[in-house]
Copies of this chain bind each other. A is one copy, B any other.
């Protein structure tokens, strides 16, 4: 998508130097736009661990390019596959719960193992890294093509008046390689000239909405308004939201959606006000094992200081202010689970379906159990 009028992905090989991978350091957004050079697998591991990059799709792509750099920088005398296995283990350890990370590392190992001779192996690693990234972008593009039909229909019903879409957290192109999941239908609609306006939940405590979603929508020129997480229900009561689209961190094959904390509250409000509530996901986010999301999806608890402090821009630098009394504890549950009964449908790269086992199984018969 666009940054200052120019097209960017979230990760790419340096155009003038094949041994350098470049990323947008997301820690500084929206206050500073910093492109970072990564040269070693260690630097890639640190970028994932310290969240210069985040989001399921982008973590996978970064791991893919990390393995590519591991191959490029391997000492001439080492056996490449053994070297990549060791570096891959290091990458996998950075964020052990990220499904796409292990998947990307293993895909790289398989690609390099199946190639013969060092030059072939290096070429395979590069090809595989690009494939992982391209596939992520393509899946997001396709789900955007499917999802845009929902926005188009509402736009027609409203005789071209802006379609108001509410989203939570950042399920934008910054969380993937391009397009994003929840944002893909929105960008597709905007690029076709359909009038849209996005209500951006700020998404406390880490403010991925206020920081990242607002920034990427603004850079692409999409009209949007940042709101506190408390506001969505009121907006829906007063017909100011036509459609909710969120992303997901893990969706059970039965249709329950694990996503950023607070998603469940918005789904309740959507149900209460007959507002369609959709979840957008590339199929890599499906969990084909778990049956009951609320009971079985583990919910990460993070440090309380993310709640006790707010991080932002002051005096030309990023600083933190304490919001609470010095001795008040805080709890920080990172995700919640929205039961399928509150979800109107899922937007995937293969089409839109109901959030239930049968409909998901029909779209992905190879996973049906």
Q: Which residues of A contact B (CB under 8 A)?
A: 30-31, 199-200, 202-205, 207, 210-211, 214-215, 218, 224-235, 237, 260-262, 264-266, 268-269, 272, 294, 299, 304, 307-314, 319-333, 335-337
Contact = CB atoms under 8 A, between A and B. Distances in A.
B307 A313 contact: no
Contacts of A326: 30
Given A312-B321, A313-B322, 13 more contacts: A30-B326, A31-B322, A204-B230, A214-B325, A226-B307, A226-B324, A227-B333, A229-B230, A231-B261, A237-B294, A265-B266, A310-B310, A312-B322
Contact of A234 (B210, B225, B261, B321): B261
A151 to B, nearest CB: 21
A242 B230 CA distance: 21
Nearest to A328: B214
A320 B324 contact: no
Contacts of A264: 233-234, 237, 269
A334 B260 CA distance: 24
Nearest to A212: B325
A34 to B, nearest CB: 15
A300 to B, nearest CB: 12
Contacts of A205: 228
A172 B233 CA distance: 24
Shortest 3 CB-CB contacts between residues of A and residues of B: A230-B262, A312-B321, A310-B310
Contacts of A335: 234
10 contacts: A199-B331, A210-B323, A225-B328, A227-B333, A230-B262, A264-B269, A265-B269, A310-B310, A311-B321, A320-B321
A240 to B, nearest CB: 9
A319 to B, nearest CB: 6
Given A231-B331, A323-B202, A336-B234, A226 B261 contact: no
A227 B30 contact: no
B231 A262 contact: yes
- Pick from A229, A230, A231, A272 the residue with the most CB of B within 10 Å: A230
Contact of A319 (B211, B294, B314): B314
Contacts of A226: 304, 307-308, 324, 328-331
